[in-house]
């Protein structure tokens, strides 16, 4: 018996920066407003989600409080926002707290417990499903 890996949903890299970086599509909502976002995949970020200024403005979010975070540049206090997060291809849908940052990031709490393919040749980031071979 062995395992076979199947490539599932893939997301394209963003070319906002050089080199391009992997992204994933997420749906975020608050009250009666929602937004589809493509945050940068940041494996160095321990949290679930950081939302950028443009998302905060689009959803008209007000901070639920602040939190002290440690970054590569040092410690700083950032706003925290309550919102709903969903990603059908990953089977997730829940209420969460997201920190406010310059741009949107998805962190390891969403990436953990899943197998991923980082394909830098084809510039795609894919979820991998393992199936047991008989």
pTM of the model: 0.86
Determine the topology of domain 2-133 in CATH.
Answer: Cathepsin D, subunit A; domain 1 (2.40.70)
Q: Residue 104, exposed/middle/buried by CB under 10 A (0-12, 13-18, 19+)?
A: buried
The confidence band for 19, taking pLDDT boundaries of 50, 70 and 90, is confident
**In this predicted structure, what is the pLDDT of residue 133?**
66
- Six token digits for residue 47: 């949290």
User: Tell me: the pLDDT tens digits for 21-54?
Assistant: 999 999 999 989 999 999 999 998 999 999 999 9
Mean pLDDT, residues 64-71: 89
Residue whose structure tokens are 């510039």: 123
Q: How far apart are CA 34 and CA 42, in angstroms?
A: 23
Query: In terms of Cα–Cα distance, which of 127, 129, 122 is closest to 12?
Result: 122
The confidence band for 111, taking pLDDT boundaries of 50, 70 and 90, is very high
Q: DSSP state, 47?
A: S
The confidence band for 17, taking pLDDT boundaries of 50, 70 and 90, is confident
């Amino acid at each position: 018996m062995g395992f076979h890996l199947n490539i599932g949903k893939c997301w394209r890299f963003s070319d906002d920066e050089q080199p391009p970086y992997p992204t994933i599509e997420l749906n975020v909502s608050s009250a009666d407003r929602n937004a589809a976002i493509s945050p940068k995949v940041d494996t160095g970020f321990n949290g679930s989600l950081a939302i950028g200024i443009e998302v905060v403005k689009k959803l008209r979010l007000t901070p639920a409080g602040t939190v002290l975070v440690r970054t590569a540049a040092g410690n700083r206090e950032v706003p925290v926002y309550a919102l709903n997060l969903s990603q059908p291809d990953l089977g997730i849908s829940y209420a969460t707290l997201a920190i406010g940052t310059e741009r949107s990031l998805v962190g390891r709490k969403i990436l953990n417990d899943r197998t991923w393919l980082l394909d830098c040749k084809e510039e795609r980031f894919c979820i991998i499903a393992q199936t047991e071979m008989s």
